[in-house]
Structure 1
Amino acid sequence: MSFNFKEIFTAFMVLFAVIDIVGNIPIVIDLRKKAGHIQSEKAAVIAGVILVVFLFLGKSILNLIGIDVNSFAVAGAFILFFIALEMILGITLYKQEDHDAMTTAVFPLAFPLIAGPGSLTTLLSLRAEFSTENIVVAVIMNVVIIYMVLKTSARIERLIGQNGINIIRKVFGVVLLAIAVKLFAHNIKALFDIA
């Protein structure tokens, strides 16, 4: 095991930007109003388990259907690019709203809000570039922050306000855009080297 602080920090920042738990505070507050109570611990733990399991089994699933990690990482870079555009421009390219049929706050929170298509794709994209143990540490760090944000979402919204949330979304959008470009360039190069 070789822990690398730079890899852990980069993976943490990428996942934090993609999951965008701070930007999702308004959705969390809306869910809290509809459900009456959010099981923060359960939501954070289930999301963490989904992310870690996909990190380890995602590559096997891809091999089973005949896709290499570099190709998946390039596809992931495109998804990150579009998520970043949503965050920076304040537009909605894809939105899944199914809160009415909700039976428990854990389902829409753990999946697909936290461990959704963006974060799962990101994990495999990161795995193409970083050590698995560093990504696991980054996932755990994100799960801890997700838990803290879920637990204190109402207080955070009062503290930073809607404008603060919008500014945070845009800053992380720019970071995510730069990471998407880097991920794309690195994996396209790897694909052409193989070819």
Structure 2
Amino acid sequence: MVVDFKEIFTATMVLFAVIDVVGNIPIIIDLRAKFGHIQSERASIVAAIIMIAFLFLGKSILNLIGIDVNSFAVAGAFILFFIALEMILGVSLYKEDETNAKTASVFPLAFPLIAGPGSLTSILSLRAEFETINIIIAIIINIIFMYIVLKTSNKLGRLIGDNGILIIRKIFGVILLAIAVKLFASNIQGLIS
């Protein structure tokens, strides 16, 4: 295991784009308005546990059902592609379930907002290319950032404004789209050969 700052930076940016912390500020503000207090610590810890557990167990689960990491990475590239399109075009390709006031900190915050299908797919896709330790560090960096955003969401929403959030969301959408294309290109070669 080698700590590589380039891998950490890339993995952090991929997860940051997929989790879309800044783009989720309006959703977080809306949840606070509906349910009052949201347990930021609980949401962050549950999301970290889900993501790190999936990093280690995801490959075993795939092997159990007969899918290799390259196939999953290509499928993940498609998911990232569609998430990026959602961010860029401002459309929603899936319908979110209704939220229960008692579980707002875990659902939808920890799952699927933070540790959702996109981030879990990204983690396994990154594992096909990067060292595990670098991905864990990237997860922790994103969880810390998410915790800060959860704690300061009302202030951030007022500071950035609706237009600022929209611009940031579109920028990260384009970055995520480029990452999805790269992920697809690098893993499709492994499938063909």
TM range (shorter): over 0.9
Q: 1:133 maps to which residue? A: 133
Rounded to whole Å, the distance in 1 between the matches of 2:65 and 2:132 is 22
SS at match of 2:149: helix
- Write the distance in 1 (CA, Å) between the matches of 2:66 and 2:58: 12
1:14-93, aligned counterparts within 5 Å? 14-93=14-93
CA distance, structure 1, for counterparts of residue 113 and residue 95 of structure 2: 10
1:125: how far off?
0.6
For residue 103 of structure 1, give the secondary structure of its aligned residue in structure 2: helix
Report if the CA contact (8 A) 1:12-1:141 is conserved. yes
Q: If the length of structure 2 is used for normalisation, what is the TM-score?
A: 0.97
* Count of residue correspondences: 192
Note the residue ranges of structure 2 that are not aligned, 5 or more in a row: none
Q: Which runs of 4+ in 1 moved over 4 A?
A: none
| Residue equivalent to 1:168 | 168
Question: How far does residue 95 in structure 1 lie from its aligned partner after superposition?
Answer: 2.9
For the residues of structure 2 that align with 1:10 and 1:39, how far apart are their CA atoms? 29
Identity of matched residues, %: 72
In the alignment, which residue of structure 2 is the partner of 1:158?
158
Deviation at 1:31, TM superposition (A): 0.8
For residue 55 of structure 2, what is the amino acid of its counterpart? L
**For 1:137, what is the secondary structure of its paired residue?**
helix
| Partner deviation per Cα, 1:40-98 (whole Å, 9 max, x = no partner) | 11111110110000000000000000000000000000000000001011111113141
Q: 1:103 maps to which residue?
A: 102
Alignment of 1:106-125 (within 5 A): 106-107=105-106, 108-125=108-125
Alignment deviations for residues 162-194 of structure 1 (CA, whole Å, 9 cap, x no partner): 00000000000000000000000000011112x
Deviations along 1:98-157, whole A, 9 cap, x unmatched? 12x342321211011111111111110110111111000000000000000000000000
Show structure 1 runs of 5+ residues with no match. Answer: none
Measure, in 2, the Cα distance between the counterparts of 1:6 and 1:174: 20
Aligned counterparts of 2:95 and 2:188: Cα–Cα separation in 1: 28
Paired with 2:152 and 2:103, the residues of 1 have a C-alpha distance of: 19
